Amino acid sequence: MATQEAFEQAAQRAQQLPSKPSNTILLQLYALYKQATEGDISGDRPGGFDFKAIAKYDAWSSLNGKSQDEARDEYVALVDSLFQQS
């Protein structure tokens, strides 16, 4: 299980990736980070033509029910794998 310190280090490392990940990976990072730090999403899904906000909302809401510890572990593992791929 990833510690809070390992999670915070992974969050800093995610800002220093050698190449920009795909939008799918970026959404995955965002959703795991939000789930790890805030838990299940609340509030209404954005409407209109704000496609970026809608994509972020949908990515985060897909993790509803996942524990914050699980999300933290998956986030750290994903960041580690992105560094290994580069």
**Start-to-end Cα distance in the chain:** 24
Rounded Cα distance between 78 and 72, Å, is 10
CB 45 within 8 A of CB 54: yes
pLDDT in tens, 47-61: 889 999 999 999 999
What b/e string do you get for 5-43 counting C-beta neighbours within 10 Å, with b at 16 or more?
A: ebbeebbeebeebeeebeeeebbbbbbbbbbbeeeebee
Distance CA 86, CA 70 (A): 25
pTM of the shown model: 0.94
Query: Tens digit of pLDDT for each residue in 14-30?
Result: 999 988 999 999 999 99
